[in-house]
Amino acid sequence: MNSTQEHHLTIPLNPAAHQIALKFAGEQDNPAKGKQVYLNTLAVLAVRDFLSEISFETDLDSGDSWNPAVRCFHDVADLVIPELGKVECRPILANETTLTLPQEVRENRIAYIVVRFSEQLQEVQLLGFVPATHLERALTILEIDEVEGSPSLLQPIEELIDYLFSLELGHDFLNSDDPVAIAVREKERLRSRTQIIAELKQLLKDVEPFEQRAKAAEILRSERDLDLALTSRVSKGDPNETLVNEEDLDLEDLAEELLDKLAEIWGESRD
């Protein structure tokens, strides 16, 4: 077994953090729920301290984990990074090797950070993170350590800095006056810009260059666009027929330009 220990980062838990966690835990109606809220709160505060050290602003009050009504009924440990989105700070105890992801945290997250507690709860180790784009929809249990035939999805916690910085650069670009950014913003979207950026970053890493243009266009295509395309195909008699029209080509051109811009910003090659 290959441990993640070589990648972990230790964060101390100060008395003030424990006081906040105890307060939130005391609001619950049974000990098991109180323990859950206690650990979730400490995990969020530890990640908040880490992100502060690397100059990322956070907003505790905007998270579900800081909302009394939400944390009472849901198992949430989210932390908001303004403009980017939420990271989920999932706690595990010292002897645990797997992490169960509650259904309520499987959407609207940009990354999942694994926070392992020491036996006395005096400190935590940030074992690593998983970008939300890496999680399969059906995945509910995350392996913390690599085991034969089942590699861990965890990436070293140090790489979280580059990941968040890349999202920040991409988000700033999409908010800029660049003609490509303006064209992307004019598309009707139902997802966040950060999610689009994260998916495009993953695409540049995993998809062969000759496939990137079409797949990037699918990421940019809104649900409204998909509905219109399906309606058009049905009206022509075959909903399964692949029709390439001028709008499709325009969208692929835009996707190509956006990939070129982002690759340049991130210092990545598209060859």
Q: What is the pLDDT of residues 168-180, one digit of tens each?
A: 999 999 999 999 9
Q: Where a domain ends, among 157, 187, 221?
A: 157
Contact between 244 and 214 under an 8 Å Cβ cutoff? The reply is no
The more confident residue out of 190 and 205 is 205
Together in a domain, 66 and 37? yes
Q: Is the residue at 271 inside a domain? A: no
- pLDDT mean across residues, the chain: 86
Together in a domain, 63 and 197? no
What is the per-residue pLDDT for 238? 52
Together in a domain, 195 and 137? no
Rounded to two decimals, the pTM is: 0.85
Nearest residue to 202 via CA among 115, 111, 103, 140: 111
The contacts of residue 94 (CB under 8 Å, 6+ apart) are 116, 117, 118, 119
List, for residues 81-100, the tens digit of each pLDDT value: 999 999 999 999 998 988 98
- Is 8 a residue whose pLDDT tops 50? yes
Together in a domain, 112 and 166? no
Q: Is the residue at 192 inside a domain? A: yes
Q: Where a domain ends, among 133, 157, 181?
A: 157
Write out the two tokens for 236.
Answer: 């022509």
Together in a domain, 138 and 231? no
What is the per-residue pLDDT for 234? 45
What is the per-residue pLDDT for 248? 80
Full domain range(s) for residue 114: 5-157
Together in a domain, 231 and 248? yes
Q: Is the residue at 137 inside a domain? A: yes
Residue linked to tokens 């598309």: 187
Residue linked to tokens 């540049």: 204
- Is 237 a residue whose pLDDT tops 70? no
Nearest residue to 2 via CA among 133, 140, 110, 143: 143
- Is 261 a residue whose pLDDT tops 70? yes
Together in a domain, 146 and 166? no
Contact between 202 and 133 under an 8 Å Cβ cutoff? The reply is yes
Together in a domain, 41 and 130? yes
Q: What percent of the chain has pLDDT over 70?
A: 83
What is the per-residue pLDDT for 247? 75
Together in a domain, 15 and 64? yes
pLDDT tier for residue 22 given thresholds of 50, 70 and 90: very high
Count of domains for the chain: 2
- Which string of DSSP letters, residue by residue, matches the chain? -B-SGGG-EEEE--HHHHHHHHHHHHTSSSHHHHHHHHHHHHHHHHHHHHHHHTT---BGGGSGGG-HHHHHHS---EEEETTTEEEEEEEE-TT--EEE--GGGSSS-SEEEEEEEPTTSSEEEEEEEEEGGGS-TT--EEESSBBTTB---PBPTTHHHHHHHHHHHHHHHHTSS-HHHHHHHTS--SS-HHHHHHHHHHHHHHS-HHHHHHHHHHHH--HHHHHHHHHHHHHTT-TTS----HHHHHHHHHHHHHHHHHHHHHT----
Together in a domain, 112 and 130? yes
Q: Is the residue at 141 inside a domain? A: yes
Together in a domain, 124 and 18? yes
What is the per-residue pLDDT for 144? 80
Write out the two tokens for 145.
Answer: 């350590």
What is the per-residue pLDDT for 225? 55
Residue linked to tokens 């649900």: 223
List, for residues 154-163, the tens digit of each pLDDT value: 899 999 999 9
List, for residues 40-63, the tens digit of each pLDDT value: 999 999 999 999 999 999 999 999
Together in a domain, 148 and 209? no
Q: Where a domain ends, among 120, 142, 157?
A: 157
pLDDT tier for residue 231 given thresholds of 50, 70 and 90: very low
